[in-house]
Amino acid sequence: MKRGRIAYAGAIHQVTATGDKVRLPNGTLLNEDEVVWLPPVEPGTIFALGLNYADHAAEIASALPTEPMVFLKSTNTLLGHNAFTIRPDDASMMHYECELAVVIGRTARNVSQADAYDYIGGYTVANDYAIRNYLEGFYRPNFKIKSRDGCTPIGPWVVDAADVADPMQLELRTLVNGEVTQQGNTRDMLFKVPYLIEYFSSFMTLNVGDVVLTGTPHGTINVMPGDEVVTEIESIGRLRNTIIRDELAPTS
């Protein structure tokens, strides 16, 4: 099953997918463009992997990590499907990162790789934008680069884990203005999903709803205001986002 969160008619709803329609709890079917999409999960902790694909690591670093290069993100970074992400005026290189996002389904502590899949609730698509000129060092991700408001669209749906036969054999791709610019496969992760769950849960508790962003393959390019960026993962979904300038951002 595919599950999501939307705003519609003055309320927030937990919804499911019926074909290409959005189904409200009362059975009403809506088109995708009739609703405001919210992040499909409200995580307590967001874990993010840097340089978790060898080909992407080769694009930007001189050596591969020997253990997971992990940093944490706040929930302020998350946006829903069809939302807008700001490109700061001083950005010289801002690129997308198509990532498989793993949603924890059970409290996990000291979980083995053999049992790791039992603790996954589902999977979704994330696009964790990076501004390279904000980066202090490849092995020390800058807080400013990854914790900006709205820098990580996610969704539209969380697909139940039982409906994904093998999360380590999924095609990923990114399209910028309809042109394919990035392609990869989750089998090429340096640190696979079961390993990551074992690794994290060996020293801290993973809670229901926590999210693990598993890194991106090679093919990241600079994006500019006005660009439509679509990140897709086989069997999981298609996430659309548009880049805007600072002065076009909504104000409160």
Q: What is the pLDDT of residue 66?
A: 87
CA-based nearest residue to 228, from 245, 215, 241, 216 = 241
156 preceded by cis ω (within 30°)?
Answer: yes
Architecture of the domain spanning 39-248: Alpha-Beta Complex (3.90)
**70 near 190, Cβ under 8 Å?**
no
Res. 55 pLDDT band, cuts 50 70 90: confident
CA-based nearest residue to 194, from 88, 71, 68 = 68
Q: What is the mean pLDDT of the chain?
A: 93
CATH 3.50.30.40 fits 1-38, yes or no: no
What is the C-alpha separation between 247 and 95, in angstroms, rounded?
A: 20
pLDDT digits (tens, 9 = 90+) for 70-119: 999 999 999 999 999 999 999 999 999 999 999 999 999 999 999 999 99
Residues of 87-117 as b/e, b for ≥16 C-beta within 10 angstroms?
beeebeebbbbbbbbbbbbeebeebeeeebb
CA-based nearest residue to 96, from 243, 204, 247 = 243
Give the torsion sign (CA, 144, 147, 150, 156).
positive
Under DSSP, the state recorded for 248 is G
Task: Give me the sheet containing 171-176, strands edge to edge.
Answer: 83-87, 237-245, 228-233, 171-176, 179-185
Q: Would the pLDDT of 64 be above 60?
A: yes
Pairing of β 179-185 and β 171-176: antiparallel
Q: Would the pLDDT of 205 be above 70?
A: yes
Residue type, 77: T
Domain residue ranges of the chain, discontinuous segments joined by +? 1-38, 39-248
What is the C-alpha separation between 147 and 130, in angstroms, rounded?
A: 10
Q: What is the pTM of this model?
A: 0.94
What is the C-alpha separation between 215 and 224, in angstroms, rounded?
A: 22
The residue with greater pLDDT, 180 or 146, is 180
